[in-house]
Amino acid sequence: MATVNMQQLLTDTLSTDTNIRISAELKLSEVLQHPEAGLALSQLALTQDADLSLRQSASIILRKYVTERWSPYFPQFRGNAPPVETKVQIRQAVFNGLSDPDRKIRSLSAHLLSSIASCDWPDEYPDLLNGLIELISSNSPNSVHGAMQVLTEFIKSDLTEDQILPVLRQLLPVLLVILNDAQQHSPLTRSRSISVFCQCVTALYMVKEQHPQAAKEATENILHVWLDTFREILRYPINDMLNQPTWDGLTVRIQVFKALDVINTAFPRGLKPYVESFLDSSLVHLQSIFSAYETYYINATESVPGSTEDEAVELPHLICPLFDLVSNIVRGGRAKQWLDPKNQNQNLTNLAGVVFRFAQMTTEDEDTWATNANAFVAQEEDETETYGVRVAGFGLLNTILGRSPAEVCVTFQDNLQQILGLCQTAREAGVLSWWKPLEAGLAAIGSQAEDILDCIEDEQDSGRPKPLDVEHLLAHVIPSLLHLTEFPFLQGRGFVFASQFAKVLPLQMAGQYLEVAMHVIESNSASIPVKVSAVKAVHNFCQGAEDSALKPYVARIAQDLGPFLLLTTEDTLSLVLSTMSVVLDVDKASWLTTDLANSLVLATLEVWTKNNKDPIFLSIFTDILASLAKSSAPGVYETVVKQALPTLCTSITTAKSEETWIASSAIDLVSSLVRGAPESGLGDGFFALLAPNLFECVKNAEDRDVLQNGVVCLTLIVRKDCSQVLSWHDPSGQSGLGHILKLIAKLLRNEDESGGLVIGDLIIHVLRRAGDSVLPVLPELLHAMVERMLIAKTATFLQSLVIPFVFLIHNQADTVLGMLESTSAQGRTALDILIQTWCENAETFQGFWPTRISTLTLSQLYTSSRPTLQNLLVKGDIIIKPETKNVIMTRSRTKTTPHEFTSVTFPVKVLKLLVHDLRSKSESVSFPGGEGFVDTDDEDEEWTEEEQQHQGFKEEEFAFLSEMLGPRGANFDNDDIFDESDDEDLKNDPISQIDMKEHIVTFFKDCAAGNVNNFAANVDQLTAEEILVMRQLVGQ
């Protein structure tokens, strides 16, 4: 290594001679294995008289050296780490590079030092932070520029909670000096000072719970100084910056608005005195920069000015933070006065109007969306990842609409009327882009369609006029747009807008719109945006319009969409699939013919074959097949099964072991066929065709999804047509039930418990449906389940093991209890294991039916006089020790100081569980009062008295939320409501019809009246709170 001339070697790697370059690159790879190479590179990067390209190359290769040779910390580490002394020299050289006269060398050094710091600081590089603060405190613009680039990343990721406060005391005053010195420092350096400040505020917010006094002191002493500076910066007109050769100056404004948004979130009280001033500045900025946005983006008649550095500076980088800041302030209730039209201001109208203007399509949007259907579809999805001006603007409209619906709808009406007039004038004047403001206005209003329709309905119910006349637009404005083929985006917007308001369309008009949309879909000449918009319109119509208006068209729609399935990909395919799914929901697909069903199944399976790894697509495929199978039209179910089942069975069997998702998704699609099957059963031969393929697949499968989907599919079949399972036998004579029990046994042995509830569902339905057929193997099955209880870890898996026993005990208590008493596992009776596990986990059970049968059976067992139950000791309440009182018990603390519990008899535990169950069903939603709460920075001063009483909601909104949440949020715990996953036969089970509250109260009263199994003595062993509840109930 000592004989290698690093400068010559790097020169050769840049040679135009291929042989010389390749030879040098190979030699360099060999040299980089030596620690001295890193030092040589760091020294070359600082050599002032070396060629700049060589110095840059040295810095870039040094970064590669650091990631591959520096430390095992880096994932790419390949060994031969340099000794400590060499690292010290390299770090110092790179640090010195932060002050280099050349900007590019400073930036490369900053990125490299950030990588080293992520590994070495603070243990091996303790003086880094002080060194950086010294640099930014110097009078050297170069040093400040280099150090700021490191600090921007450093504060974000590397400071711990204990380091934050001391660092901020040193750092923030220096940053403020840099920000205020526009003569000495460039706009990009000043913007980075704000970015670092922003990271400091975020860091302070993260520790304010642990260090409330220090955080409060810091914000009181620091925030107002920065906010005063921000306010002063924003007073200077922004137009001067827009006319400069570069837009570096915009970076300061961009960071100011980002910082204000962070402060608004983290410390809103500190921002409160400045809110209206910053809202005024935000609106002024938006109004001032629109002209430039129109020139450089909407019409793109001029090229966007660049930046003096590699960092891109764009107007959307400023517009989006502006929209976000205003939106978040409005959402927090702190813009009420500013937006109120009664205060003789036009802020609300102007704000909505500026969003409408910025929502216009840019020339880049046009070029992209005209040829890329996927991009066109993606930009309007609610969950779009492309966050831009249009999406941010629509988000702001949604926020202000939520605070003042009627007033905002009026501004929508006023702005749209103004746009219509301006567009007409521009069109008559021959302006080519006349259509853009109208398309943007319709897109903006359409994006809020649901809230607008709710507002209109509320206003009319209250006897007030409609704040926005949607019907007039649909009858007199939109129809004229549907034939503007030379303006495809406006034409397409007309379709989408009409469909977004399908609920208020008269039947005849809805039919007319559908007719035109279908004509576009069938046309060979329509452009991509129009066709996609027509499909989206059909999707919206089928979701929002009445079935009676849609039924004459749906068969034709489905027939036209079929070929689209085979021609589209990605987002467009997702739209077409979703549209097909909602089309099939119209009138439950009773309009299908066997020929159409046949072609749709074939198209769906072909698309599935190409996209069977995509979980989003798969969820739509299953919906489509289920809807096809559910059709009541004669012969359709049989046609669907005949076409789909053989193909899916083949895929289940032939899927390669490394492509488990094929088998998994194929089984999922079979389940959708079962879900759609008629009540009369699956049809002859269904299970006989599926069973050999499915059982062979799950027998050999180790993949979790394959096994879970197999279990779900078999559960559905057992529920739907158990007779086919019982009558089928493989060539060896093994029955379908036997294969299912083998699968259950396999899953019980499996260490992976992620299957959770699905295993329990299968066992429950086998016990419910198979009847006497399962009796010969029942003892063996129950013994295996009891043994698995001893090592099971997850709550859902334990529920799957316990609930089948609960079901059996509920129906045949004496027989099952006797079996459990006579069975042992690891030195304990099966009854002891079951009861202990049940009592420990009963309060975590999920689902409507399982929680009910558990409660019913516990009350049933309480009345049993079996000594094995009466004398059985189980876990009671947790014992609170002095060392654990008022302490959050983390996992590490629990290991050193494990929880301890009292012991109580099983009957006492039953009473405890029933009391707790009853309280969860009876208590209304309540919130703690103010006592005992630490003063926070959360702002609600501008809520009305009504909103303050109801946590920021109006009374009727709060009542609706309370009803939705249920007692103590119980509805979100699936305790007492059905959800879509609850199967119909369990919903119809008599257990599901019982009033559980009434049952428990009656049970307590009956036990008290007859002192059943020493009820009075058992009640005395409850806690004081439980005894109080019990006395209140019994005394009713």
The whole-number average pLDDT for the span 161-176 is 78
Residues 6+ apart with CB under 8 A from 222: 168, 172
* pLDDT, the chain, mean: 87
Asked if residue 996 has pLDDT above 80, the reply is: yes
**Bigger pLDDT: 492 or 958?**
492
Sign of CA dihedral 914, 918, 920, 923: negative
Q: What is the distance, to the nearest Å, from the Cα of residue 728 to the centroid of all Cα atoms in its chain?
A: 44
Q: How far apart are CA 625 and CA 472, in angstroms?
A: 40
- Residue 254 in tokens: 């961009």
Is it the case that residue 377 has pLDDT exceeding 80?
no
pLDDT at 888 over 90: no
**Residue 1015 one-letter amino acid:** F
Task: Please choose, from the candidates 761, 550, 775, the residue with its C-alpha nearest in 3D space to the C-alpha of residue 671.
Answer: 761
Answer whether 308's CB lies under 8 Å from 248's CB: yes
Which residue in the block uniquely carries the two structure tokens 């998702």? 661
pLDDT the model gives residue 972 = 39
**Look-up: residue for tokens 């067992």?**
861
Provide the 8-state DSSP code for 683: -
Q: Which two tokens stand for residue 90?
A: 């390299």
User: Would you say 57 and 21 are in contact if contact means Cβ atoms under 8 Å apart?
Assistant: no
Mean pLDDT is lowest, of 214-218, 583-587, 717-721, for 214-218
Instruction: Report, in this order, helix, strand and coil percent for the chain, each rounded to 5.
Output: 70, 0, 25
pLDDT of 362 reads 95
Amino acid at 864: S
In 3D space, the residue among 157, 262, 153, 270 whose CA is nearest the CA of residue 202 turns out to be 262
Contacts of residue 667, Cβ cutoff 8 Å, sequence gap at least 6: 648, 652, 694, 697, 706, 709, 710, 713
Q: Which residues contact 613 (CB under 8 A, 6 or more apart)?
A: 661, 665
- d(Cα 796, Cα 755) in Å, to the nearest integer? 8
Give per-residue pLDDT as tens, 46-66.
999 899 999 999 999 999 999
- In 3D, which of 712, 774, 707, 762 has the Cα closest to residue 737? 774
Rg (CA), the chain: 35
Specify the pLDDT at position 56.
Answer: 93
Q: How far is CA 328 from the centre of its chain?
A: 20
pLDDT per position as a tens digit, 70-109 = 999 999 998 888 999 999 999 999 999 999 999 999 999 9
Which positions ≥6 away from 273 have C-beta within 8 Å?
none
Rounded CA gap, 564 and 42, in Å?
58
Residue 832 pLDDT class (50, 70, 90 cuts): very high
Average pLDDT over every residue of 177-184 = 92
Q: What percent of the chain has pLDDT above 90?
A: 62
Cβ count near 205 (within 10 Å)? 17
Q: What is the pLDDT of residues 8-35, one digit of tens each?
A: 888 888 888 999 999 998 998 888 888 8
Q: Evaluate if residue 597 carries a pLDDT over 70.
A: yes
385 pLDDT tier (thresholds 50, 70, 90):
low
Give 260-286 pLDDT, tens digit per residue: 999 999 999 999 999 999 999 999 999
**pLDDT, tens digit, for every residue of 918-950?**
887 664 323 233 333 344 454 444 445 445 554
pLDDT digits (tens, 9 = 90+) for 957-991: 555 445 444 443 444 344 444 444 446 677 778 88
**pLDDT value at 1 more than 60:** no
Residue 770: its pLDDT value, please?
Answer: 86
pLDDT in tens, 738-755: 999 999 988 888 888 876
Percent of the chain with pLDDT over 70: 89
Residue 974 φ/ψ region, left for φ over 0, alpha for ψ in the -120 to 50 degree band, beta for the rest: left
Kind and range of the H or E run holding 876:
strand 873-878
Residues 311-340: what's their mean pLDDT?
Answer: 94
The pLDDT tens digits of the residues spanning 642-667 come to 999 999 999 999 998 889 999 999 99
Which range among 524-533, 696-705, 935-944 shows the weakest confidence by mean pLDDT?
A: 935-944
Q: Is 733 left (phi over 0), alpha (psi -120 to 50) or beta?
A: left
Question: What pLDDT score does 121 carry?
Answer: 83
* Residues 533-558 pLDDT 10s: 999 999 999 988 888 889 999 999 99
Cα(725)–Cα(742) distance, integer angstroms: 14
Phi then psi for residue 873, to 5 deg, are -95, 135
Position 936, amino acid: T
The token duo for 1008 is: 């008290």
Return the closest-CA partner of residue 333 out of 938, 935, 940.
Answer: 940
The least confident of 117-121, 589-593, 827-831, 1009-1013 is 117-121
Q: Is 904 left (phi over 0), alpha (psi -120 to 50) or beta?
A: beta
| Strand (E) or helix (H) holding 622 | helix 615-630
Q: What is residue 384's DSSP assignment?
A: -
Close Cβ partners of 559 (under 8 Å, ≥ 6 residues apart): 596, 599
pTM of the full structure: 0.77
Contact 777, 741 (CB under 8 A): yes
* Confidence (pLDDT) at 162: 62
Position 933 scores a pLDDT of: 35
Q: How many Cα atoms occupy the beta-carbon half-sphere of 700 within 13 Å?
A: 14
pLDDT of residue 750: 83
Q: Look at residue 935 in the predicted model and tell me its pLDDT.
A: 46
Read off the tokens for 505: 């369309």
Per-residue pLDDT, 925: 25
pLDDT score recorded for residue 975: 42
How far apart are the C-alpha atoms of 195 and 181, rounded to whole Å? Answer: 16
Q: What is the sign of the dihedral through the CA atoms of 776, 777, 782 and 783?
A: positive
Q: What confidence score (pLDDT) does residue 939 get?
A: 47
Residue whose structure tokens are 């309060």:
843
Averaged pLDDT, 465-471: 94
905 forms beta bridges with 873
Apex CA 51: angle with CA 48 and CA 52, to 5°? 80
DSSP one-letter code for 824: E
* Per-residue pLDDT, 80: 87
Q: What is the mean pLDDT of residues 116-130?
A: 87
Alpha helices in 66-140 (DSSP H): 84-97, 103-120, 128-137
Judge whether residue 3 has pLDDT over 80.
no
Q: How many CA atoms lie within 13 A of 407 on its CB side?
A: 16
Q: What is the pLDDT of residues 234-266, one digit of tens each?
A: 999 999 899 899 999 999 999 999 999 999 999
Residue for token pair 């295996």: 784
Whether 156 shows a pLDDT value over 90: the answer reads: no
